[in-house]
Amino acid sequence: MDRRCFISHIGRATAAGGTLLPLVGCGIGGEVPPSEGGVDIPANLGAAIAHLVDPEYRNYALQSSQSSLYQALVDKGVVTTAGEFDEQAVFAAAQTDALVEYGGFYHTETELQLYGLAYSLVLDPPAA
Amino acid sequence: MIVDAPVLERYDVVIIGTGPAGLPAALRLAEQTSLRIALIESGMKKENDSIQDLSAVTATGDMSPGHWAFHAQRTFGGTSNAWGGWCAALERRAFDLQEWPIEYDEIDRYYPDAAEVLNASPNVYMYKEAEIESAPGLVYKPFYTRFPVRLEEKYWDTIATHPTIDLILQATCVELEHEGSTITQAVLTDSLGDGSELSYIKADYFILACGGIGNPRVLHHSNIAKDSPVGRHLMEHPHVVRAAKVYLNEERLRQYTVDEPDVVHALQLSSERCVEEGLLSFSFSFDLHQTAEKPLLGRSKNVVVADVVVRAEMEPQFDNAVSLSDEVDGLGQRRAHVNFHYNHDDLAWRTWQILTEELLRSGFGRPAPFDASAPIGGGGHYIGTTRMGTSELDSVVDGDCKVHATDNLFIAGSSVFPAAGVANPTYTIVALSLRLADHIAALKEGV
């Protein structure tokens, strides 16, 4: 998605009382669009991890595709193809993950993927 | 009572210095025995600039001469007139590795009485630290910081009227004379004179309590313990302010934090973890004022957001040392020269990495990288210059704080610590002084 498209979407959502509608025809960050590779991200996953949305992870979200983040987290058992979220898997992954510096703080790699996906899904949920 | 000169031909004990090392020892001895004690203080009841100048040093390395002089206060009560009131028990790490020649319990059992001397919270010995559940390498270890007791205010009247303690003010000990291994007398001079008029005081036992710079200086001037590393292994406590930011899980943290005012909250790696990883003690403190909601390991949590202050233990280095300068003071005595360089950097970096892993992987918090450009200050703690040990070749005093090379000279103060820990030393100085007093009392009784 380019910046104009992103801001236009937010503006429409604000005008509509804050409900974010699915985007059509825009890709995040001008890079790989969310539906790349044909990965179906369950529609309920956004709600399952919405509590983890934090504006600090916006840049991370914009650097990655939803599908790549989603697939990485499925592979780790953090989320499922049924749209479930397992926080214990985040803890388990943290015991072996490399630590990454982001936004001035250390994170586990899995955390970054998770918070990036949360931000991305809440602001750009996958098409139904 | 206050006297102008020794009133006895010979005292049981002469204690040189009235700070947190000397004064508690005098009072303990006086409480428990009927020994006649002379208490010698270079300064007066209140500060005198000319006398304070006797503490001035020359210096090379990382700290200014003024830093060393400021924390060597020459007034009744010594550096208790300048300290910040922070109390914490020493970590066990160095004791577990036998860097001290005594067991931790030898000091621990005096901590309650030391807390009373310093008007410290009883939690300082009842709640020294707490292991963090599910993060076993971490401990919560706070500093207890009541308004700093000034020993002059607390004990002046007691000393001034005490029947068995003779306080001699404005008297600087310039030398300890000895015959073989026995100290025969202390040589005193008027602190405001030119050093030419001397007086002498004899005793069965002498306790040198002149601070981490003053103690080795007197030994150097007296040519005592020349085969021992007198003045060597000087350690300080590097403080790094705003070393990093950190988020801490507030709910989990509050399970451990002491709920009383005047506490500085801090986390450390446990002594066991330090031993396991070959690290020195390392503390980071923070306040609880600012909070936010942040994700931590897949949960959205209320977190404390804080800039941390790091306090690190230094390794003793032979070349960090107190020697004699070519410059002389107003009494004609060679001043102390302090050579000192910080050496904590590599270990501090590695320790922060391990702390980072412990915090993150347990979900207890999220640290930022350590800021290498953050300014480093000292704590005003002069440690290790007459270190305790078993051998005369690599230490100055034995486990009873007796100078190896002598029969009857003892040293009180943080100069005897062979390892610095990160805890502020005053609390442990007092505990060791009380222990030393009990030991001398036992010696006098022939126990």
Residue B286: strand pairing partners: B265
User: What's the CA gap between B273 and B271, in Å, rounded?
Assistant: 5
Check whether A127 has a pLDDT greater than 90.
no
User: Tokens for A124?
Assistant: 């750009």
The pTM (predicted TM-score) of the whole model is 0.91
- Which positions ≥6 away from B193 have C-beta within 8 Å? B331
Task: Choose the closest CB to B360 out of A51, A104, A108.
Answer: A108
Count Cβ atoms below 10 Å from residue B423 Cβ, excluding itself: 25
**Which chain A residues touch B245 with a CB distance below 8 Å?**
104-105
What interface predicted TM-score (ipTM) does this complex get? 0.86
pLDDT band at A33 (very low <50, low <70, confident <90, very high): very low
Check whether A12 has a pLDDT greater than 70.
no
Strands B37-40 and B165-168: parallel
Task: Choose the closest CB to B361 out of A52, A95, A105.
Answer: A95
Residue B185, sorted as left (phi over 0), alpha (psi -120 to 50) or beta, turns out to be: beta
pLDDT at position B136: 83
Query: What does pLDDT average to over chain B?
Result: 95
User: Tokens for B368?
Assistant: 């930022």
A11 against B210, higher pLDDT? B210
Strands B334-340 and B365-367: unpaired
Cα angle, residue B264 at apex, residues B72 and B415 outer, rounded to 5°: 30
Please compute Rg for chain A using Cα positions.
14
Three-class secondary structure of residue B327 per DSSP: strand
Residues 325-344 of B with CB under 8 A from A: none
Three-class secondary structure of residue B29 per DSSP: helix
Check whether B204 has a pLDDT greater than 90.
yes
Q: How far is CA B54 from CA A76, B58, B198, B260, B328, in A?
A: 68, 12, 17, 40, 9
CA distance A101 to chain B (A): 8
**Which chain A residues touch B247 with a CB distance below 8 Å?**
105
Q: Are B306 and B248 in contact (CB under 8 A)?
A: yes
**Which chain B residues touch A99 with a CB distance below 8 Å?**
356-357, 360
Beta strands per DSSP E along B1-112: 2-3, 11-16, 37-40, 58-61
Task: Tell me the per-residue pLDDT of B251-281, one tens digit each, with 9 for 90 and over.
Answer: 999 999 999 989 999 999 999 999 999 999 9
User: What's the CA gap between B266 and B420, in Å, rounded?
Assistant: 18
Task: Tell me the per-residue pLDDT of B425-437, one tens digit each, with 9 for 90 and over.
Answer: 999 999 999 999 9
Question: Closest residue of A to B298, CA-based?
Answer: A87
Q: Are B189 and B331 in contact (CB under 8 A)?
A: yes
Is the Cβ pair A105, B297 closer than 8 Å? no
Residue with tokens 């704080």: B401
Average pLDDT over residues B214-218: 98
Q: Read off φ and ψ for residue B193, nearest 5 degrees.
A: -90, -160
pLDDT at position A38: 63
Measured between CB atoms, does B356 come within 8 Å of chain A? yes
Is the Cβ pair B245, A52 closer than 8 Å? no
Find the length of chain B.
Answer: 447
The answer to which of A7-11, B136-140, B149-153 has the lowest mean pLDDT is: A7-11
Task: Choose the closest CB to A52 out of B300, B361, B368.
Answer: B300
Q: Are B206 and B16 in contact (CB under 8 A)?
A: yes
Residue with tokens 């313990």: B225
* Closest listed residue to residue B110, CA positions, set B210, B25, B215: B25
Q: Are B381 and B67 in contact (CB under 8 A)?
A: no
pLDDT at position B153: 97
CA distance B289 to chain A (A): 20
Instruction: Find the chain A residues whose C-beta atoms sit closer than 8 A to any C-beta of B.
Output: 51-52, 54, 78, 85, 87, 89-91, 94-95, 99, 101, 104-108, 111, 114-115
Q: Are B13 and B30 in contact (CB under 8 A)?
A: no
Question: Closest residue of B to A118, CA-based?
Answer: B298
pLDDT band at A3 (very low <50, low <70, confident <90, very high): very low
pLDDT at position B321: 98
Is the Cβ pair A111, B298 closer than 8 Å? yes
Q: Are B201 and B73 in contact (CB under 8 A)?
A: no
Q: Which of A105, A111, A113 to mutate to test the interface with B (most CBs of B within 10 A)?
A: A105
Chain centroid to Cα B148, Å, comes to 15
Task: Tell me the per-residue pLDDT of A54-67, one tens digit each, with 9 for 90 and over.
Answer: 999 999 999 999 99
CA distance A69 to chain B (A): 15
**Which chain A residues touch B360 with a CB distance below 8 Å?**
94, 99, 106-108
Q: What is the DSSP letter of B81?
A: G
Is the Cβ pair B294, A54 closer than 8 Å? yes
Residue B183: strand pairing partners: B178
Task: Choose the closest CB to B297 out of A54, A94, A99.
Answer: A94
* Residue B41 burial class via C-beta count within 10 angstroms: exposed 0-12, middle 13-18, buried 19 and up: buried
Q: Read off φ and ψ for residue A91, nearest 5 degrees.
A: -65, -45
pLDDT band at A128 (very low <50, low <70, confident <90, very high): low
